[in-house]
Each structure stands twice: as C-alpha cells, then as structure tokens.
C-alpha cells in the first residue's frame, strides 16, 4: 500500500530540514577551523655524490629545516622537520602538549619558510595562559622532542580503558603500512607513522623524527574531530615514554612499532592503559601490557624466537 501524499510531503520536508541542518553544521565546523597556510615542501632532493669507486652518482636525500612555532608573537619551540605538513605539525604539537583544549581556540597558523616560522594566532590574542617555557624535558630520539610540564601535569587525565586486540589485526596493520613509506624507500633517514583502523591506513606521515610525524597526525585528527579509541598507531621508531604519552593524549590504545620499547615507556603504558606491540615485522612481534591480546592466528614456525631471545 502506497503512503498518503501528505505523508510523502512530510517525509520530504523532514529530509530537507535534516539536509539543511547538516549543511549548517558542516559550515559551522569549517568556519571554526583555524585558517592555515599551505606551505608544505617537497621532502626528497637530488644531489651529486661519489661512491667508493670514485664514480659520480646522483642520489636522493631528505630535507631538514628548522621551524620555530610562535604563539601570538611569543616563541614556543623550534622543531627540525621535513616540512611536508608544517601547519598540521604545529597544530598537533600544541594539542599533544595540552596547550589548548580545542582547535577552535586557534585563529590561524601561517608558515613562512623564509623566516622559518609557524606563526600561531589565537582567537583571544592572549597567547598561552600560565605558560612557563623554562619547564621542559628534552626527550630521546632523532631531532630531540620536548615535553612541556603542562603535558605532564594533565597526563593522567587520559588513562585509556582496557581493550581487546586480535593478533590478526596486528598482521593487517603491518601488511598495509609497508606500502606507505615512500620517503624512506627512496632516501632513508626518516621515521614513518601511520594511523590505522582495521586494515585501512587512514594517514601516513614521514618526518625527521617520529614525534614530529605523530604530532602531524594528531593535528589532522584534531581538525577532523576524529577519536582514537578504535585506532591502532604504527611507528617505525622506538616506543619511548614520549610516544606512549602522545598516544594516550590522542586517545589511541594500541601502539605498534618495528622497533623496541624502553622500560619507562613500558611502565607508562601500564599506567595509562596503552598496549605496546614491539619488534613487529612480518608476522612476529613482542606484546607488552597486552593481557587482552587474542591469539586468533598461528604464525609460521620460522618466526619463533631463536635461543629464547626475543629482543
């Protein structure tokens, strides 16, 4: 039986109202995003070289430039970066240092490579409230990351709930991320980080340091208002305390790395509820703080550790 014409009209009106409401929401979201320049650079350069036989060769090397982040004219930090996504790097750094609660507090991020600056302007123009630039920790790793005291103060507000992860999910991530490390395959000298959901790589960023790559993804997640609870984060770098902290602040419960973990990173993962999957290559890994890991696949026997050594 066909519905009355009046009902059809009412349904059409309701659909129009929903579409108008969705359009209004999308417009408001776009208007609330910080204005940003588009100053991304090419990451790979060709230079002349000589090999061990004295032969002239053209080789690929990656870029590296200093980028100083200022907030309402006050200098915050200088990062060494490839420069491929400088605006999102600056935004993610601000997020992961817990300097701002929402991206809507930021009016604009403008990058000027001639001055090597990422100029952040806030909506109220008052800079970062109660900010003490002298209280910072220089972390381990290439490019040397930094942790500000405000991030440490708020860290334990971000404990993650216990989740279950399947062995097969780890294998899917490892299979997918191998296709995305373009700069590393071409020139080496970089770290790569990927944000994954299921067998899909949502974002993959390469940079001089793994912390920069992670912050860039954090910036993109912030812009998209994307949660981390159903994501897995992959990195080529070590699972140090800083990387565990950033994962917790981003709400991501699982870290996967082809590298190892530090003891402080492990202890912090226990405190914050982050699962660490270290030494993950092909179909082998070492799981730390992973009581809820479900072994749903049988890896080939050749991947078993030799002589009892897993590190």
pLDDT in tens, 178-209: 889 888 888 888 999 999 998 899 999 999 99
In a domain, 4, yes or no: no
Among candidate residues 153, 177, 210, the one where a domain is terminated: 153
For residue 68 the two structure tokens come to 């100083």
Whether residue 188 is found in the same domain as residue 276: yes
Work out how many domains the chain is built from and give that number.
2
- For 215-237, the pLDDT digits (tens) are 999 999 999 999 999 999 999 99
Tens digits of residue pLDDT in 269-309: 999 999 999 999 988 999 999 999 999 988 877 645 454 45
Same domain, 66 and 184: no
Of the three residues 131, 153, 175, the one that is the final residue of a domain is 153
Last residue of a domain, one of 122, 153, 184: 153
Whether residues 56 and 108 fall in one domain: yes
Q: Is residue 25 part of a domain?
A: no
Q: Based on the fold, state whether residues 304 and 171 are members of the same structural domain.
A: yes
Asked if pLDDT for residue 25 goes beyond 90, the answer is: no
Residue 273 sits in a domain whose CATH number is: 3.40.140.10
Residue 7 has pLDDT above 80, yes or no: no
The model's pTM is: 0.82
Q: Is there a single domain that holds both residue 301 and residue 182?
A: yes
Instruction: pLDDT band for 130, please (50, 70, 90 cuts).
Output: confident
77 and 197, same domain (yes or no): no
Confidence band, pLDDT 50/70/90 cuts, at residue 124: very high
- Domain limits at 271? 165-308
Same domain, 196 and 263: yes
Q: Say yes or no: 125 and 175 in one domain.
A: no
At 285 the pLDDT is 96
* 60 & 192 share domain: no
Residues 148 and 169 both lie in one domain: no
**Average pLDDT estimate for 64-90:** 96
């Amino acid at each position: 039986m066909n519905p009355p014409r009046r009902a059809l009209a009412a349904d059409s009106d309701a659909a129009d109202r929903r579409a108008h409401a969705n359009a209004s929401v999308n417009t408001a979201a776009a208007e609330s995003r910080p204005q940003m320049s588009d100053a991304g650079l090419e990451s790979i350069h060709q230079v002349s070289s000589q090999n061990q036989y004295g032969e002239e060769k053209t080789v690929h090397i990656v870029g590296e430039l200093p980028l100083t982040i200022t907030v309402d004219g006050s200098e915050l930090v200088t990062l060494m970066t490839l420069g491929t996504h400088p605006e999102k790097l600056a935004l993610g750094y601000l997020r992961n240092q817990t300097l701002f609660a929402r991206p809507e507090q930021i009016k604009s991020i403008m990058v000027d490579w001639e001055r090597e600056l990422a100029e952040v302007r806030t909506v109220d123009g008052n800079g970062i409230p109660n900010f003490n630039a002298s209280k910072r920790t220089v972390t381990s790793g290439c490019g040397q990351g930094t942790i500000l005291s405000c991030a440490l103060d708020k860290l334990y507000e971000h404990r993650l709930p216990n989740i279950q992860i399947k062995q097969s999910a780890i294998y899917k991530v490892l299979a997918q991320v191998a296709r995305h490390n373009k700069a590393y395959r071409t020139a080496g000298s970089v770290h790569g980080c990927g944000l994954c959901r299921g067998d899909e790589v949502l974002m993959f960023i390469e940079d001089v340091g793994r912390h920069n790559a992670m912050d860039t993804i954090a910036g993109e997640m912030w812009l998209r208002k994307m949660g981390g609870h159903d994501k897995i984060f992959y990195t080529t770098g070590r699972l140090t305390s800083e990387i565990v902290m950033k994962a917790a602040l981003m709400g991501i419960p699982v870290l996967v790395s082809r590298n190892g973990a530090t003891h402080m990173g492990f202890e912090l993962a226990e405190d914050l509820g982050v699962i660490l999957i270290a030494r993950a290559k092909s179909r082998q890994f070492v799981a730390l703080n992973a009581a809820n890991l479900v072994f749903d696949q049988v890896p080939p026997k050749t991947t078993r550790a030799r002589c009892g050594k897993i590190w």
